[in-house]
């Protein structure tokens, strides 16, 4: 691959802190890409010369590719009927997950692989260059291992979510199911996964069960993350902080003790506004978290139940319109914040040595991502130095 110079960038969001500006914004900038990495970043006027392969951004904005740190993309079927019912007042319930488990178990590897490939294409086209994928719609040793293996074909960020709900086949034997998750299921999924997650919520797993499951994962070398405080107040956030989890996701219902716990910890609060949009729940209060000093990430939670969208620009628009974030904070949270939630230092920023994962916007500034909701503003995407 020849080096490529992307020049005449009107607004470059580097996410390398410059004098207290976490977005590290440069005007009239250029980026040199060499192989899969960024080789140089600076003013267009100082850019290296003699690079044959040059892209003129025409004064438009460039941002790091989005880092979507929370998705559930390996599944069969959909649940449009549940969405339709919610829009006329039926509340979201975790039990719907079991319908997707049945459809996923019935799907072949080829069917799931083709669906996943479609989603990956959808993500890339919308500027997402790094994404996490969870298991959680298999819920048997065989199917969880199968989903983890398929997910690992498209991302290194695979999360074992055997503790999504207790499946129908174990309805009266939940203790047995937890034993299965921490025993043979963990053993079978472990070679394909980097993370372990638990849905710690009424109707899913109790704090004690969650603690046991996460501890078993950690003992097997997986890193913990938690689904917490989505449907009501609970112990998910504090459990995540106590375990040193990389992230606790949802954070819709937080009390002062939760915010204080997050403020004193390295655990990222990952907010998933597609869920509130699609379940008619109240949006999480991002402003309160940021003002308390908490690191906030935005992610899509793309799944067939609570949030069937893979659009990071939509998450940014919702975060700005409904959650008290500034456009700059929201773009940071969807890039650098996601990278923090995945404990990655090679993505979510534009700096020498980082992965050359970039999105060129058809706009003069990143503000347009919130200002022009629903408009396809991604004009070009580079992943690992290659233009997609």
Does residue 301 interact with Fe ion by CB under 5 A?
yes
Q: Which helix (H) or strand (E) holds 6?
A: strand 4-12
Q: Scanning residues 286 to 305, which ones bind ligand NIG (CB under 6 A)?
A: 301, 303-305
Which one of Fe ion, ligand NIG, none is in contact with 99 (Cβ closer than 5 to 8 A by kind)?
A: none
Q: What mask, x for binding ligand NIG by CB under 6 A, covers residues 137 to 176?
A: ----------------------------------------
- Name which of 2, 6, 9, 1 is nearest 48 in CA terms: 6
Q: Do 296 and 271 contact (CB within 8 A), yes or no?
A: yes
What x-and-dash track marks residues 220-249 binding ligand NIG by CB under 6 A? -------x--x-------------------
Closer residue to ligand NIG, CB minimum distance, 86 or 212: 86
Instruction: Show the tokens assigned to 268.
Output: 């990222």
96 binding partner (options Fe ion, ligand NIG, none; Cβ < 5 to 8 Å by kind) = ligand NIG
Strand partners, 34: 37
Nearest in space to 357 (alpha carbons), one of 120, 156, 129: 129
Cβ atoms 104, 164 nearer than 8 A: no
Q: Which two tokens stand for residue 322?
A: 């409904």
- Helical spans, DSSP H, in the chain: 80-86, 97-106, 109-125, 141-152, 174-180, 186-189, 207-219, 236-242, 256-263, 273-279, 286-291, 312-322, 327-332, 338-341, 368-371
At 182, is the secondary structure helix, strand, or coil? helix
> 143: closest CA among 161, 157, 156?
161
What six digits make up the tokens of 85?
A: 């019912």
Burial status of residue 209 (CB atoms within 10 A of its CB: 0-12, 13-18, 19 or more):
buried
Closer to ligand NIG by CB, 304 or 348: give it: 304
* Residue from the set 10, 96, 228, 236 that interacts with ligand NIG by CB under 6 A: 96
> Would you count residue 306 as binding ligand NIG (CB under 6 A)?
yes
Instruction: Using the minimum distance from each CB to Fe ion, give the nearer residue, 164 or 355.
Output: 164
- CA-closest candidate to residue 164, choices 282, 276, 279, 306: 306
Please name the residues in contact with 236: beta carbons below 8 A apart, sequence gap of 6 or more: 200, 201, 207, 210, 226, 227, 228, 229, 230, 248, 250
Residues 49 to 78: which contact ligand NIG by CB under 6 A? 72
| Among the residue ranges 93-101, 150-158, 233-241, 332-340, the one whose residues contact ligand NIG (CB under 6 A) | 93-101
Question: Which of these ranges, 3-11, 145-153, 163-171, 294-302, lies near Fe ion under the rule CB under 5 A?
Answer: 294-302
Q: Is 309 in the site for ligand NIG (CB under 6 A)?
A: no
Tell me 335's DSSP state: I
97 binds, among ligand NIG, Fe ion, none (CB under 5 to 8 A by kind): ligand NIG
Q: In this complex, which beta carbon is closest to ligand NIG, that of residue 286 or of residue 356?
A: 286
Residue 200: CB minimum distance to Fe ion, A? 12
Closer to ligand NIG by Cβ: residue 253 or 382? 253
Q: Write b or e for each residue in 307-330: b if 16 or more Cβ atoms lie within 10 A of its Cβ, otherwise e.
A: bbbbbbbbbbbbbbebbbbbbbbb
Q: In whole angstroms, how close is the CB of 221 to Fe ion at the nearest point? A: 22
Of the candidates 120, 259, 275, 319, which one interacts with ligand NIG according to CB under 6 A?
275
Instruction: Work out whether 199 is an interface residue with ligand NIG (CB under 6 A).
Output: yes
Name which position in 7, 13, 25, 100 contacts ligand NIG (CB under 6 A). Answer: 100
State the residues that interact with ligand NIG by CB under 6 A: 72, 96-97, 100, 199, 227, 230, 275, 301, 303-306
Residues that bind Fe ion in the complex, under the rule CB under 5 A: 301
């Amino acid at each position: 691959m020849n080096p490529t110079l992307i020049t005449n960038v009107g607004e470059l969001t580097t996410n390398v802190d410059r004098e207290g500006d976490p977005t590290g914004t440069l005007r009239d900038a250029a980026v040199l890409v060499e192989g899969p990495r960024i080789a140089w970043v600076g003013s267009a006027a100082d850019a290296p010369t003699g690079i044959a392969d040059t892209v003129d951004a025409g004064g438009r904005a460039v941002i790091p590719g989005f880092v979507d740190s929370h998705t559930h993309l390996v599944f069969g079927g959909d649940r449009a009927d549940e969405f339709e019912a919610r829009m006329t007042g039926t509340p979201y319930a975790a039990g719907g997950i079991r319908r997707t488990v049945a459809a996923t178990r019935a799907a072949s590897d080829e069917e799931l692989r083709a669906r996943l490939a479609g989603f990956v294409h959808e993500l890339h086209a919308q500027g997402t260059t790094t994404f996490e994928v969870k298991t959680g719609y298999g819920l048997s040793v065989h199917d969880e291992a199968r989903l983890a293996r398929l997910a690992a074909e498209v991302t290194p960020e695979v999360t074992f979510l055997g503790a999504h709900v207790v499946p129908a086949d174990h309805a009266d034997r939940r203790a047995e199911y937890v034993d299965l998750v921490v025993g043979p299921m963990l053993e079978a999924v472990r070679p394909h996964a980097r993370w372990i997650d638990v849905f710690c919520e009424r109707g899913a797993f109790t704090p004690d069960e969650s603690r046991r499951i996460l501890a078993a994962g950690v003992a097997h070398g997986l890193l913990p993350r938690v689904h917490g405080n989505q449907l009501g107040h609970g112990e998910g956030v504090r459990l995540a902080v106590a375990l040193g989890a990389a992230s606790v996701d949802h954070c819709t219902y937080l009390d002062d003790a939760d915010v204080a716990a997050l403020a004193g910890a390295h655990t990222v609060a990952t907010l998933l506004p597609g869920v509130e949009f699609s379940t008619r729940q109240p949006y999480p209060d991002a402003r309160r978290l940021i003002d308390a000093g908490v690191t906030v990430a935005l992610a899509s939670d793309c799944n067939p139940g609570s949030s069937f969208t893979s659009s990071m620009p939509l998450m940014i628009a919702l975060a700005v319109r409904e959650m008290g974030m500034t456009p700059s904070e929201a773009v940071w949270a969807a890039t650098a914040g996601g990278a923090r939630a995945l404990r990655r230092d090679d993505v979510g920023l534009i700096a020498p040595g980082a992965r050359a994962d970039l999105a060129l916007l058809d706009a003069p500034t990143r503000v347009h991502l919130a200002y022009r909701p629903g408009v396809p503003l991604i004009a070009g995407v580079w992943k690992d130095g290659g233009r997609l």
